[in-house]
Chain A
Amino acid sequence: NAGVTQTPKFQVLKTGQSMTLQCAQDMNHNSMYWYRQDPGMGLRLIYYSASEGTTDKGEVPNGYNVSRLNKREFSLRLESAAPSQTSVYFCASSATPRDTQYFGPGTRLTVL
């Protein structure tokens, strides 16, 4: 039982490049989330998926897109990376939106 997994763990991009962050959970959770964490800012919600087949914007969605591929997988795409997107990205899942969230190990992204 791996919980929530994320790939890659580290990534360096040049401005304008694109990439997709992958997230998968094996807990049969309905809800999944993408956060970014910057020093002093706490966890800020980028996008979420309350259930399979639905996605919606969170607090800071600009510059990102998501895909809920199936119940297990929720990916985050940066179409044209900018230095302001340098951050640590966490994926999380929960049984329902009201339940405890379980976090993946994070992806440390640097955009030059």
Chain B
Amino acid sequence: QQPVQSPQAVILREGEDAVINCSSSKALYSVHWYRQKHGEAPVFLMILLKGGEQKGHEKISASFNEKKQQSSLYLTASQLSYSGTYFCGTDPPGGGADGLTFGKGTHLIIQP
């Protein structure tokens, strides 16, 4: 089942902080975060694994609450380059041959 992302869209001024949430109705083994700029392909940012291990991007952090089946992506002191659509992709504990299930995305606009 598709994870739910919130908010759907957010507009910030450069330097402000943003939080993007991803919630699943199923138990999760891992959550993957991607960013897609307009007209481009999604690019991998970060993976969060059950047990707390985090791998990925230097300037963006994330958390994974296994009990609540939620993940949050934190963008602090946002830069213009952070603009784009952010997707979470989820993977249940049993896995699946069909890979990750993606949310519908959160549109982030950073204004100067």
Contacts and interface: CB of A to CB of B under 8 A. Distances in A.
Contact of B102 (A42, A100, A104, A106): A42
Contact of B43 (A33, A56, A103): A103
Interface string A76-108: 000000000000001000100110111111100
26 contacts: A31-B99, A42-B87, A42-B102, A43-B87, A43-B102, A45-B99, A50-B98, A54-B97, A56-B97, A56-B98, A90-B41, A94-B99, A97-B95, A97-B96, A97-B97, A97-B99, A98-B29, A98-B30, A98-B95, A98-B99, A100-B32, A100-B44, A101-B99, A101-B100, A102-B44, A106-B40
Most buried by A among B91, B102, B103: B102
A74 interface: no
Interface of B: 2, 29-30, 32, 40-44, 47, 87, 89, 91, 95-100, 102-105
B105 to A, nearest CB: 5
A82 to B, nearest CB: 23
Main secondary structure, interface of B, reads loop
Contacts of A33: 99
Interface of A: 31, 33, 40-43, 45, 48, 50, 54, 56, 58, 90, 94, 97-98, 100-106
B44 A106 contact: no
